[in-house]
Amino acid sequence: MEPKITSPQVKGLVIALILIVTGLVVYFIDGMKHPELNYIQYAIFLAGIIWACISYSNQLNANVTFGNLFAHGFKTTAVITVIILVYTILAMKVIFPDMIDKSIEMTREKMEAEGKATDEQIQQGLTMMKDHFVTFAAVGVIVGFAIMGAISSLIGAAVAKKKPKDPFGNQII
């Protein structure tokens, strides 16, 4: 009987939903003022990808290779990345349009506190930031999740149990 395997799409959807809920909690408790709270999401993402790899190995009774596990982890990462990218764009444009303004205001305060730029330079930088905020956020999601996903998949593939059976080992000649 063929073992029941949970697809990377299902695992990615579950992990992405957990990340979205966590992100909403951080947003509603005004976590933008505390960027260290974002580490919670990074930990959830890392643990989720490692869990996906270990779960895949267990579902196949460890008859997997490092490459199989890494591929499964990275497919899960791809699903999460697409879902989070769509959510991020929707959040900034539709759900929480004030998010961009809050981020720009926080950046303005930080730049003024540092005192390294003139008011004109600060205004120029903030204008460019506002014009391209969604683009920067989208690129950040794609690149950040790809890098973290690759690292998480490597860790998951390394720690998961692997005992691949040699398909040519029991041949009768």
Q: How confident is the model at residue 85 (pLDDT cuts 50, 70, 90)?
A: very high
Place 134 in a pLDDT band, splitting at 50, 70 and 90: confident
Give, to the nearest 10 degrees, the angle between helix 38-59 and helix 8-28.
160
pTM: 0.84
Query: What are 22-54's pLDDT values in tens digits?
Result: 988 888 887 667 778 878 889 999 999 999 999
Q: How far apart are CA 124 and CA 146, in angstroms?
A: 31
The model's pLDDT over 99-126, given as tens digits with 9 standing for 90+, comes to: 777 777 777 777 777 777 777 877 887 7
Spatial distance between the Cα atoms of 132 and 108, rounded to a whole number of angstroms? 16
